[in-house]
Amino acid sequence: MTAENLALSPELLEAVRRISGTEHLLVALDFDGTLSPIVDRAEDARPLPRSAAALAELAELPRTTTALISGRALDSLRLVASPPANTLLIGSHGAEVWLGEGSLGLELDEDQRKKLAAVREVLAEIVNIAPGTVLEDKPAGVVLHTRMADDDVAEDAVEAATRVLSEHPGVYLKTGKRVLETSVVHASKGEAVEFLRQATGATAILFAGDDVTDEDALGRLMGDDVGIKVGLDFTQAQYRVEAPVHVAELLEALLRERRRVTSPA
């Protein structure tokens, strides 16, 4: 073992070697807290350069598909992630899908648009009385961010929003780190992983993510798949790394192995 991969457990390195031998590999990654460190202002997030470089090279390998599965709206994801051109993109926790040129954008129906407006009204009232909380509009939902608010204010705001919006049928709620996500489209990262497995014909998936919503994806993994939790929170993942910097090491290890398998010398 070399110094640079000390942070990865021998079990994880073995899993990386094993999955690299699969026929068609799908590398599906969360963005914030996984490729990028968590930052105060969402627009400031950028992938760690080493992760971005490894992902770009993985994207070029034969029989290898790369994908980002994010809670962000697709536009926001593109802006901060600058993904390799052939990387598949799933935004809004699965509500938005981009599989290359010609992919159709998300269209809400009349009922969903009305629900979205009602959700926005509820959350705007809460933000008005909860200093430090802010809203973010997404194509299928509105997000309540509480990262900049005091702990008790943040807690009260999320509690109030959850209480009121639980009464709205067809509005789906997800709690993340200092964030309450609402959506008028039912979607999850678990469904996104399933969808990508079908769409790409992947024979194994390597997925890494740091947040609660990533557990949906981790829960859909099976067989030869490899699931990695980033961070120390509870998880059902088989493997764990501590921080985005270790994701960089993981992707570099995966790149070395996968390149060896797909491009024989």
Q: Which is nearer to Mg ion, 13 or 179 (CB)?
A: 179
Query: Rounded to the nearest whole angstrom, what is the least distance from the CB of residue 33 to Mg ion in the complex?
Result: 4
Q: Which of 207, 198, 255 is nearest to 59 (CA)?
A: 255
**Which region among 74-82, 87-95, 163-171, 209-217 touches Mg ion (by CB under 5 A)?**
209-217
- For 232, phi and psi rounded to 5 degrees? -105, 0
Taking the complex as a whole, the smallest distance from the CB of residue 38 to Mg ion amounts, in Å, to 8
Q: State which residue, 32 or 225, has the beta carbon closest to Mg ion.
A: 32
CA distance 186 to 93: 9
**CB-based closest residue to Mg ion:** 33
The encoded tokens of residue 236 equal 């059902």
- Cβ neighbours of residue 242 under 8 Å, at least 6 residues apart? 7, 230, 231, 232
Nearer to Mg ion, 30 or 252 (CB): 30
Torsion sign across C-alpha atoms 245, 225, 254, 91 = negative
Q: How far is the CB of 209 from Mg ion (least distance, A)?
A: 6
> What radius of gyration do the chain's Cα atoms show?
19
* Greatest CA separation for the chain: 64
Task: Report yes or no: 213 and 69 within 8 Å, Cβ to Cβ.
Answer: no
Beta carbon nearer to Mg ion, 181 or 211:
211
Which among 9-17, 114-122, 143-151, 202-210 is the span making contact with Mg ion, rule CB under 5 A?
202-210
Token readout for 137 is 């509009």
Q: Which of 8, 19, 32, 184 binds Mg ion (CB under 5 A)?
A: 32
**Dihedral, CA atoms, 34, 37, 41, 46, nearest 10 degrees?**
-80
CA distance 178 to 48: 22
Q: Which of these segments, 10-18, 23-31, 128-136, 220-228, binds Mg ion (CB under 5 A)?
A: 23-31
- Selected from 33, 91, 139, 244, the binder of Mg ion by CB under 5 A is 33
Helices 110-129 and 151-165 cross at an angle (nearest 10°) of 150
> By rule CB under 5 A, what count of residues binds Mg ion?
5
Site membership for Mg ion, residue 181 (CB under 5 A): no
By the rule CB under 5 A, 210 interacts with Mg ion: yes
Stretch that binds Mg ion, among 2-10, 31-39, 140-148, 238-246 (CB under 5 A): 31-39
Among 96, 181, 211, 216, binds Mg ion (CB under 5 A): 211
- What minimum distance in Å lies between the beta carbon of 99 and Mg ion? 21
Q: Where does this chain bind Mg ion (CB under 5 A)?
A: 30, 32-33, 210-211
